Amino acid sequence: MVEVSISLLSADKENIVKIIYDLEVAGTNYFHIDVMDGKFVEKDNTNTMRQYTEYIKQIANTKSEVHLMVEDVESYAKSYIDMEVNCIIFHIESCKTEKQVLELISYIKENNIQVGLTINPKTAIEKLYNYLPYIHKVLIMSVEPGEGGQEFIEGTLDKIHELNVYAYENGLDIDIEVDGGINDNTAKKVVEAGANILVAGSYIINSGNYKEAIKKLKD
């Protein structure tokens, strides 16, 4: 069953409370909170995303997942653990050693929060294989991290398929999530390749009818 996780990056800050409310009513499965530190990626939206997370906690029941596009994963993970989000996803490109990745995975899980790993378009999917037994989900970036509204990178489909086959052959039960440039056209392709969670930002936010747009992605 395909689930949708909506990125708030393209949402109009002035109306964010109403947008969060309307997205929940429209039936999103998750809110996708894109945290950028101005170092791992150019933009720094840390204060805004902290505020959005508080709003989600106050007005919504829908689960929230945090996509950390940051260099200092540990300190950002701590602040989102304190805000009791449901899942924290970090980039393996932010870590220098395998030991560091494993320590961060344990740290997040010890705080009863689900953990995901994500990789940039240029990073080989094999880089994740050693960690798969310890994590709940893989977020495959189908755009270069840093902003919403970019074009889907077609080469991502092979990575999704490769991961799907590897997970199946190794009896691994993980969610395969894809992030960037997802719309009614690319959604079909990524689901066929093996993804079961779709992150969508601009396609939904700019749709004019959230419920309809979510339904199109799920069909």
Q: Please report, as ranges, the residues that interact with ligand DX5 according to CB under 6 A.
A: 7, 9-10, 32, 34, 67, 143, 145-150, 179-182, 199-203
**What 3-state DSSP class applies to 155?**
coil
Taking the complex as a whole, the smallest distance from the CB of residue 170 to ligand DX5 amounts, in Å, to 27
Catalytic residue among 34, 82, 175, 219: 34
d(CA 218, CA 92): 29
Taking the complex as a whole, the smallest distance from the CB of residue 110 to ligand DX5 amounts, in Å, to 26
DSSP annotation of 41: S
What number of other Cβ atoms are within 10 A of residue 10's Cβ? 17
Which residue's Cβ has the minimum distance to ligand DX5?
201
Assess contact for 178 and 156: CB atoms under 8 A: yes
The region of 18-26, 73-81, 155-163, 173-181 touching Zn ion under the rule CB under 5 A is 173-181
Whose Cβ is closer to ligand DX5: residue 62's or residue 102's?
A: 62
**What 3-state DSSP class applies to 70?**
coil
184 Cβ contact list (under 8 Å, min separation 6):
203, 213, 216, 217
Q: Is 82 a known active-site residue?
A: no
Q: How many residues bind Zn ion (CB under 5 A)?
A: 3
Distances (CA, A) of 131 to 143, 166, 194: 22, 13, 19
Assess contact for 181 and 152: CB atoms under 8 A: yes
Q: Is 34 a known active-site residue?
A: yes
- Short-list 164, 155, 152, CA closest to 193: 164
Residue type (1 letter), 46 = T
Mark 176-195 with x for binding to Zn ion (rule: CB under 5 A) and - for no binding.
---x----------------
The region of 37-45, 79-87, 175-183, 208-216 touching Zn ion under the rule CB under 5 A is 175-183
Assess contact for 121 and 153: CB atoms under 8 A: yes
Assess contact for 167 and 174: CB atoms under 8 A: yes
Whose Cβ is closer to ligand DX5: residue 44's or residue 103's?
A: 44
Which residue's Cβ has the minimum distance to Zn ion?
67
Taking the complex as a whole, the smallest distance from the CB of residue 34 to Zn ion amounts, in Å, to 4
Mark 45-74 with x for binding to Zn ion (rule: CB under 5 A) and - for no binding.
----------------------x-------
Q: Is 91 in the site for Zn ion (CB under 5 A)?
A: no
Catalytic residue among 37, 82, 179, 184: 179
**Residues labelled catalytic:** 34, 179
